[in-house]
Amino acid sequence: MPTSSPRLAPPSTPLTPPTATPARQASVPAPAVPRSPVRAAAREVLDPAHLRTALRLTSVDATLVAALLCGASVAITLVIAATSGHEDLAGFAALGALTSLYGRFDPYRRRAALLASVGAILVGSILLTTAVTAVGAPTWVTLAVVALLAGGMTALCQLLRTGPPGATIVVFAAGAGLAGSPTFADLAPRGLAGLLGVAVAWAVCVAGFLFRPSGPARLAVRRATLAAEAAALVPDDRGAVGRARDAVAHARTVLADDASHRRTRATALRLADELSGAAGTTAALPPRQTLRATARASLAAPGWRLRSVRVTLAAAAAAAVAHVAGFGHPAWAAMGATATLQGTTTQHAVVRALQRALGTVAGALIAWPLLDAHLGFWATAALVVALQVVTEIVVGRHYGLAMLTITPMALLMTSLGGSSEGIALDRALDTAVGAVVGILAVVLVHARRRPVPQSAGRAAA
């Protein structure tokens, strides 16, 4: 552990006094021609370096426990659904169990609130699209509802800073509500099945508070310490310094949450002292930040409105293209566009598009023989659980490789509640459409720039 604290702020650039210029040489500079954001984005999208980035593996840690918790949630839910005589609703129950994917490294009280909120939205999405379909609404209306859900959930995830998987799971659930030819009589069974999955996921993921209540805080401090030590070795590396700053900020947020509860307060204060010595930060912790406070603080942050609009437009366009093309599940195209646009930068979005499109095609080829084998319920359920666990171990390391298990897992889960004929091809085609439309949205949809008044330009000159 270093004796001196690493620099967690980017080095400041010294200000050099301007050289005096004779008055006769002074001139008003010509106004700069604004660069087209569409051209700039297109140039960045076409950068061949994205292909190399898409092939690169990422180093991650602490994935096994999160994977096992998700797998346990899905497994328990499927067993309950089947043993209660509702195998036809097992897919909706498993969808509810995917709530366990959210907030995996959050402190327990925050995660409990987050899982309850996301679970309510997920079940509400199933009910909404089921009701819209049951009322006999035109296809364009149902797909518009899916697109609005995608954009709305993207905004919420940005404001709450949930991290992965973002809005993708909610769009998956909304698409499931469109499946079959539901009537109003299907609302209660589908909703209760989804609620079962949410309840199981909540119980499984929060149960750790009974046995190791400070687990998330210990992990956050360990990660922050390692990141700070790495940044101290290369103080001029802005990437390393930025990662260290983010890791320390997250650790302090987790510790603040734990410090506000009597059971975890002592451990949180001790860990705060350790973090202070390792990262050179103050040992005093900020106030605990609830989900509502997080959302309120994020309202002023730039970018979340643009991302929400992009996702809404891209999801609607992708679903429309898939529907006109005659693909069987246009909501999956909306999900593909949504997943692509969960990237925080243009490079991230392009890399996700490449990995998702190519990985889904390969994953569909893996799923095809499994679907054609018409496995029984228990064999299918076992495969779904196993694939889900492997997915959560792999996805942080390489999103494209994870698609090799995500795709057959999702298709097998879909087959639990209906026909599996042709869904592998639909998945590949719909995902490819969604990825392409998502990239087009990155290129074409930008925030409106406010013109600079001429008087301001003359004053600056």
CA–CA dist 94, 92 (Å, integer) = 5
Please indicate whether residue 154 or residue 277 has the higher confidence score (pLDDT): 154
Is the backbone of residue 261 left (phi > 0), alpha (psi -120 to 50) or beta? Answer: beta
Residue 2 is predicted with a pLDDT of 45
* Alpha carbon 41 to its chain's center: 22
Count of CB atoms situated within 10 Å of the CB of 272 = 23
The tally of CA atoms less than 13 A away on the side-chain side of residue 170 is 31
Average pLDDT over residues 346-357: 88
349 band by pLDDT with thresholds 50, 70 and 90: confident
In single-letter form, the type of residue at position 404 comes to L
Q: What is the pTM of this model?
A: 0.85
Reported as a single tens digit per residue, the pLDDT across 144-182 is: 999 999 999 999 999 999 988 999 999 999 999 998 889
458 band by pLDDT with thresholds 50, 70 and 90: very low
302 band by pLDDT with thresholds 50, 70 and 90: confident
Residue 13 is predicted with a pLDDT of 38
Average pLDDT over residues 74-94: 94
Q: Which residue has the tokens 């990995």?
A: 355
Residue 444 is predicted with a pLDDT of 86
Is the backbone of residue 182 left (phi > 0), alpha (psi -120 to 50) or beta? Answer: beta
CA–CA dist 413, 74 (Å, integer) = 10
Whether pLDDT at 231 is above 70? yes
Reported as a single tens digit per residue, the pLDDT across 9-44 is: 443 333 334 444 444 444 555 554 456 778 787 887
Please indicate whether residue 13 or residue 338 has the higher confidence score (pLDDT): 338
Reported as a single tens digit per residue, the pLDDT across 111-139 is: 999 999 999 999 999 999 999 999 999 99
Whether pLDDT at 346 is above 90? no
Average pLDDT over residues 370-389: 93
